[in-house]
Amino acid sequence: MSNPNIIQASGSTLTYIGGGSRKFYRVMVAGDIEVRQWGRIGTDGQYQIIEHSGVRAAEDSCEKQLRTKASKGYGARRDIAFRFDATMLGGLSDKSQGRALAAACDAAEANAQLGDELDDLLGMNDTVVWTDDDEPVNTQTMQTMQQVADRALSVVTLAATNSTDASVEYAKLRSEMDAVDEQYERCKGLLETIELMITAGGGA
């Protein structure tokens, strides 16, 4: 049974780099709540929370803000959709609400980037298998990495709300990520070996 508190959210980010400026502007929507975040790249920036009459009104407002910023030279738009636990916003200040949603958005972007890197690495080919000490590295490894990335989303959200559970969950996740890193490096080593064999054989 689905959790009614888990809602679909989205975020869009623009950047402006030039004339000595390195700025970002992000708008996020979670239900009828719009969050605007802006500042220097690499900083947390500032937040503004706006409650709308509905989801469509919040989305329309975000698009209007993005068009305004684009007209001022902001570009390199990145869009991401993700799920968010709406109960995590209860009782928080505006800035904490913004941080919680931004953390979830950051984790979703990192998750998507990881998926793209895995696609590039393994070519989404189910037949790719390499055995080292009877440990296969194939699409099962990709699924493991995806599961770790999904868990990272929840840990990042916990940390953003200063939850005492965050440190415990982080320790568990760190251990899992170390294991995934090892598998990832094995995959890279496999592809490098194949490339050398192809080059040596005149196939490249």
Pairwise CA distance, residues 30 & 129, whole Å: 41
| Winning range, highest mean pLDDT, from 38-42, 121-125, 131-135 | 38-42
Question: Residue 14: how many CB atoms within 10 A of its CB?
Answer: 21
- Given a cut of 90, is residue 41 above it in pLDDT? yes
Pairwise CA distance, residues 113 & 110, whole Å: 5
Kindly state the percentage of the chain with pLDDT values over 70.
54
| pLDDT tens per residue, range 166-186 | 666 666 666 666 666 666 666
Pairwise CA distance, residues 202 & 199, whole Å: 5
Q: Which domains, and CATH codes, for the chain?
A: 6-200 (2.20.140.10)
Both structure tokens of 61: 């407002």
Residue type present at position 108: A
**pTM for the whole structure:** 0.60
Phi/psi of residue 44, nearest 5 degrees:
-70, -30
